[in-house]
Amino acid sequence: MADARIITRRAAIVAGFGAAGYLVANTNALTLNPAMAKIFEAVEDWTRISQRALLNADRLAPEYRPSDISPVFKANGTLNPNTDVYNAHAAANFSDWRLNITGLVSNPMSLSLADIRRLPARTQITKHDCVEGWTAIGMWTGVQLGLLLKAAGMSPQARYVVFHCADNLSGEPAKGGEQSPGQYYESIDLKDAFHPQTLIAYALNGNPLDVPHGAPLRLRVERQLGYKHAKYIQSIQVTDSFANIAGGRGGYWEDRGYEWYAGI
Ligand SMILES: Nc1nc2c(c(=O)[nH]1)N[C@H]1C(S)=C(S)[C@@H](COP(=O)(O)O)O[C@H]1N2
Ligand SMILES: [Mo]
């Protein structure tokens, strides 16, 4: 009988661990066997771990005031892709630039800048942090990446979002849309892709992005280091793995030894 009562209580505790504190308070009269004690520990741990995970999942990067904006936002890495194709786009004010969303989506998309500017925009003032040891505060405007991905319809196998850029750091010719080794690319997981501060940005400090800062479209992924913020984005590929893309480590710098997650 005693055993049955303990099992019943255990089942009640497992089913209703949200009320763990109440149940602990009301089982003082029972002599707990070691297994019961473990369950109480696990419940407490689980509550703490899951709450922390939930909080962290949507942890926001700090946002700043307009008066905090850096007078000069340093440009870094590629300052101009300078290919014939890119230069022609720049000369046409990027009116023919397309952002393609491909891969594990039910509704692949090809969007013009005008399309993207028509979507709900978010503006945020954040601090950029480059591994080379400088920071800058800027005001970015763009569309939330999560919105685009939602519209594209993610397949259940989707795990990563890869950004393919127009610049090639080794000067190799582009391979007809395929990722060549020197071409800049980046990737993030779905948690960061759907984070509310993750933007496909088209404006810096209220002006259309200029060429040094990634015209016409660049990523802002505010809880990550500078090299994750892909500039000159041409296509967004939803995938279950980046093992077969370029060096297989998820980014131009990652293929050269940098960390993939790169949280600040
Ligand atoms: N396409 C592309 N994106 C890129 C880079 C690059 O060379 N090419 N450099 C990265 C690095 S190291 C940093 S610090 C930021 C710099 O962005 P900014 O030029 O707007 O300051 O862009 C990142 N994104
Ligand atoms: Mo950087």
User: 3-state SS of the chain?
Assistant: CHHHHHHHHHHHHHHCHHHHHHHHHCCCCCCCCHHHHHHHHHHHHHHHHHHHHHHHHCCCCCCCCHHHCCCCCCCCCCCCCCCHHHHHHHHCCCCCCEEEEEECECCCEEEEHHHHHHCCCEEEEEEEEECCCEEEEEEEEEEEHHHHHHHHCECCCCCEEEEEEEEECCCCCCECCECCCCEEEEEEEHHHHCCCCCEEEEEECCEECCHHHCCCCEEECCCECHHHCCCCEEEEEEECCCCCCCCCCCCCCHHHCCCCCCEC
What is the residue with the minimal CA distance to atom 16 of ligand 1? 76
| For range 197-213, the mean pLDDT | 98
| For range 219-228, the mean pLDDT | 97
Question: Can you give the pLDDT at residue 43?
Answer: 60
| Mean model confidence pLDDT for the chain | 84
Rounded distance from Cα 167 to ligand 2 centre (Å): 15
Look at residue 61 and tell me whether its pLDDT is greater than 90.
yes
Q: Who has greater pLDDT, 249 or 27?
A: 249
Rounded distance from Cα 4 to ligand 2 centre (Å): 62
Query: Of the ranges 21-25, 106-110, 144-148, which one carries the lowest mean pLDDT score?
Result: 21-25
Question: Can you give the pLDDT at residue 24?
Answer: 42
Ligand 1 atom closest to the CA of 204, numbered from 1: 20
Rounded distance from Cα 216 to ligand 2 centre (Å): 19
Which domains are delineated in the chain? 1-56 (no CATH), 62-256 (3.90.420.10)
Question: Can you give the pLDDT at residue 130?
Answer: 97
Query: Of the ranges 18-27, 31-40, 137-146, 156-165, which one carries the lowest mean pLDDT score?
Result: 18-27
What is the residue with the minimal CA distance to atom 21 of ligand 1? 75
Residues with CB under 6 A from ligand 1: 74-78, 130, 165, 167, 184, 212-214, 226-227, 229-232
